[in-house]
A = this chain, B = another copy of it.
C-alpha cells in the first residue's frame, strides 16, 4: 500500500522550491552487495519471525500472570554460561524459541491489561514500530550535521508535543525556548539541575558548590535526590519539605518559603526547586504558580517533573494543574508512560537553552560541525544533555502524534481516567475500604479502614492488614498486579490504570479480587 521507494532526493531549502530539489546521483555506482549481516532479504525473513512472536505475545497477553513466579537466579540455570563460538544452525529461530519459552514467562508483563502496579508504560503498535524503524535506520544524531533530518524532526516534534500539552510558548522553539527527547526524567532533572548550578556558580563563585541548596517535597521522586547527589550537591543540602494528608501531599509554598529563608539566613544559597505534577505515591500536584512566586526573589531555577501527569495535559480539562507554568524554567514528562510512545521517550523543555549549552556544551569548538551548519545557529543536541550518542527518538514520537492525532491521545487518557473513576466509585461503595487521597488522574490510592473502632493512633495494625491484602491480591495468578506506597504513616494500595489493553471488565474483575481477598483476611 506504499508506492515503491522513489529515487533518493536531496533536500534543500531553496526559496520557491518548497525545499525539494532533485539531485543527480551517480547511478553508475556499483549496487551495494550486502554482507549478509545487513541483507535486505535476510531482514525480511527474520522480521516475519519477530512480527509473529510479538503478535502472538499481544494476543496471549491475558494468559500470563502479570508478575512471574520466579526466584532470583532462575535464568542463569537455563542458559549456557558462555556465548557460542559458532552459532548453532538456524540460531535466530532457536533463540526466539527461548524468548518464548524461557524469557517471556520470566518477565513482568507491563502490557498486561491487569498490570495496575506502576505508572504505565502504555504501548502502541505505532510506538513499537517507531522504535523498530529507528533501529533499522540506525543513525546517531549527536549534532545537526551528524544527521540533519533527525535533529530537525526532534525540534519539530517537541514543539508539536508541547503545544498538544498546552505548554506556554516560552518553553517552545516557537517562543524562544526549546525542547529535546531524552530517555528518562532522571536525565531531564539532572541536566536542568546542572544548568542551574553552573549558572548560579558563575554568579557567586565556582568553588561555592557546598553552599548550594535544593528543594523538593517529601513526596518528590527519589530521582531528584539522586540527581542532586550526582551533581555534587551535599547530601544534607537537599531539603525535602514535609507534606501532609489534609493538603493532599502537595508542597506548601509557605513551608518552602520558610525553608529557603532559613537557608539564606544561614549563609547558604537556594538553587533549585523540583516541583511535581502527579507524584509517584499519590499523584499529588504541587501548586506551580504559587511556588514560583516564592522562589522568584531567590533566583531559584524551577523545574517541573510531570513524568506521569504531564501526559494528561493533552486533555484541556487537566490544564488547571499547570496554572502559572509560564514562570518555570524547565518542564519534563515521560511520553513513554501514558502517550503510547514506547519506552523510552522523555520530553524536556527549557526556557533558556543557552543555560543548558553553557553547562553541557563544549568549552571550545569541536570538529563536529560541517560546512552546511557553519555560520548557522544550529541545535547540536549533544550540548543539551549529558550524552553524545543518542537515539533518533523523534521519529517514534512524530509517528505517534501523526497516526493517533491529539484526539486519539485524549481518548486514550480519558478512557483510563474513566476506568479509574469507576474503580474509585467501587472502593467508596464498600464501607470496609477508604480512598486515601482524591483521585486526580488514573491512580486510585485506597486501603482497608483501620479496624480500630476507636480511631487509635497506632497505624501498624491497619498497615499490616493492608500489606497482607496487597500480597494476597498479587498472589492470585490471574488477578491484577498492584503496588503500594506509604504516606503519612499509612500503608496504602495503588491501583494505577494505564495499560493500553485494560478494559472495563479488567477493572471490575480486579476490584472483585480485592474484595474477595479482603473478606478472607478480615474473616481471619
Contacts and interface: CB of A to CB of B under 8 A. Distances in A.
A83 B406 contact: yes
Interface stretch (A220-228, A271-279, A288-296, A452-460): A220-228
Contacts of A247: none
Copies in the complex: 2
A2 B96 contact: yes
Interface residues of A, number: 211
B85 A407 contact: yes
Interface in A351-407: 359-360, 362-363, 366-367, 370-373, 376-378, 386-391, 395, 398-399, 401-407
Given A40-B56, A104-B8, A147-B107, A29 B478 contact: yes
A76 interface: yes
Contacts of A102: 11, 149
Given A70-B13, A402-B87, A389 B125 contact: no
Contact of A110 (B27, B103, B147): B147
Contacts of A129: 43, 46-47, 50, 132, 135
A51 B51 contact: yes
A174 B82 CA distance: 11
A43 B52 CA distance: 10
Contacts of A47: 47, 51, 54-55, 129, 132
A33 B264 CA distance: 58
A97 B2 contact: yes
Interface string A145-189: 111111011011001110110000000001000000001111100
A108 B225 CA distance: 39
Contacts of A58: 34, 38-40, 43
A12 interface: yes
A290 to B, nearest CB: 28
Contacts of A53: 2, 5, 133, 136
B183 A362 contact: no
Contacts of A78: 11, 18-20
A389 B13 contact: no
B70 A38 contact: no
Contact of A362 (B18, B152, B222): B222
B501 A49 contact: no
Contacts of A3: 97
B72 A148 contact: yes
Interface in A206-242: 206-207, 209-210, 221-223, 225-227, 229-235
Contacts of A24: 477
A314 to B, nearest CB: 10
Interface string A73-95: 11111110111111100111101
Interface in A111-127: 111, 113, 118, 121, 123-127
A471 interface: yes
Among A10, A40, A92, the most chain B Cβ lie within 10 Å of the Cβ of: A40
Contacts of A83: 160-161, 163-164, 401-402, 405-406
A408 B377 CA distance: 44
A198 B111 CA distance: 38
A149 B103 contact: yes
A89 to B, nearest CB: 11
A51 B56 contact: no
A174 B80 CA distance: 13
Contacts of A84: 401-402, 405-406
Nearest to A161: B83
A128 B159 contact: no
Interface string A462-506: 000000000100100110000111100000000000001101010
Interface in A4-46: 4-13, 18-20, 23-27, 29-35, 37-44, 46
Given A12-B74, A55-B40, A194-B230, A150 B50 contact: no
A236 to B, nearest CB: 8
Given A1-B93, A183-B183, 8 more contacts: A6-B101, A13-B77, A34-B58, A57-B137, A82-B164, A111-B137, A187-B386, A367-B486
23 contacts: A2-B49, A2-B96, A5-B56, A5-B100, A10-B69, A11-B102, A13-B77, A38-B123, A39-B125, A71-B372, A72-B378, A83-B405, A85-B406, A87-B404, A103-B149, A103-B395, A110-B147, A118-B140, A118-B146, A184-B387, A197-B232, A198-B229, A221-B388
Q: Which 5 pairs between the two chains have the least Cβ-Cβ distance?
A: A232-B232, A106-B149, A131-B135, A75-B152, A26-B478
